[in-house]
Every structure is written in structure tokens, then in C-alpha cells.
Amino acid sequence: MEFEFNLEDKLYKISIEKKGDTYFVDLGNSKREVEFQVISSNCFSLTIDGHNQTVYIAEAENKRFIFVQGEQFVIQEKEAAKVRKKEDEAGLVDGKQLVRAPMPGRILKILVSEGERVRKKQSLVIVEAMKMEHEIKSALDGIVKKVNFKENQMVDTEEPIMELEEEK
């Protein structure tokens, strides 16, 4: 089987071959032997080259959020990545930032309010997802134009939590 996907705006092509309970993954520049065991519907145990790792996966729309050893990766279908490319990694479009959750979760704390001035890298909101807290920061100096959610509400990755406008 061959797959193409985008990870951090880079296109990857991998090939997977199964022999018994073992998978052989060809990443183009290296081949890995992988043993795969299902723990639950969103949790897997992988043994890669003799090293065991637990992997958690959450899905939303056309994205998969993968957690491995405290690191988070977002994998997006190849075509969907092209559509979102209009909006850069920080959610900036024409001097506005659409603040989104990195993955589906619950809003723990909203740290700013509508009309408030914010500076670049200022913390805006804390979202809990996959038993981890994610602090989302501003990508610009600007003003909070709209807050679309309240604390303790569930949020998806496609719904902007808030909208910021660049200060001119």
C-alpha cells in the first residue's frame, strides 16, 4: 500500500508491506520494521526497530492528530492541505487571525475578551485535548474582534475560537 500525506506542510510518500504480524514501512530514505498492536479505537502500541511506543490518534474533518511520546503531529490529506494553504500556519489571512484549536477538545480558559488589545505571542486561550493542555498564542499585535466560545465548551479544529485583527 502507498500513502501520500502532508505533515507540517511537507509532502510525504510512504509504502507499507505486511508480512504476518509485522509491517515493513518504506519512508523513501529508510525502511523500518514495525509491529502493530491495537489497544483501543484511538490507541496503538508500535514496536519500531525494537523500541516500543504508545500512539494516540484523534480525527477531525480531514486531519489526524497523532501523539507520540509527548509530541503532537497533525497529518492532513494531500488535497485538503492545499485548500487550507490560503490560511498560513498561524491562521493569518489578510491581517486577521482566526484562532483555532490544534485538535478537538474543551476550552479550559479564555484569557482575553472582545475589544482587548493583544500583543504577538500573548496567550489567548487554553484548550484541553487528549488529556493535555494546549496554550494558543497570538500571531500578531492586534485587537480581539470576536470570541465565539465560552469556557467549558467543546471546540473542533474547523471552528475559530476567536478572531483577531491586526492593529494598524
- The DSSP annotation for 111-125 comes to ---TT-EE-TT-EEE
* pLDDT (average), residues 24-46: 83
164: nearest Cα among 106, 109, 107, 94:
94
pLDDT for residue 146 is more than 60: yes
Which triple of cell numbers denotes residue 68? 507520540
Q: Where do the structural domains in the chain lie, given as residue ranges?
A: 2-82, 86-166
| pTM for this entry | 0.52
Query: What is the helix (H) or strand (E) element at residue 43, kind and residue range?
Result: strand 43-48
Q: Residue 85 — very low, low, confident or very high, per pLDDT cuts 50/70/90? A: very low
Domain 86-166 has CATH 3.40.50.300: no
Fold for 2-82, please state it. Glycoprotein, Type 4 Pilin (3.30.700)
pLDDT for residue 68 is more than 70: yes
pLDDT for residue 35 is more than 80: yes
Which has more confidence, 14 or 84?
14
Phi, psi of 79, rounded to the nearest 5 degrees: -70, -40
CB 47 within 8 A of CB 34: yes
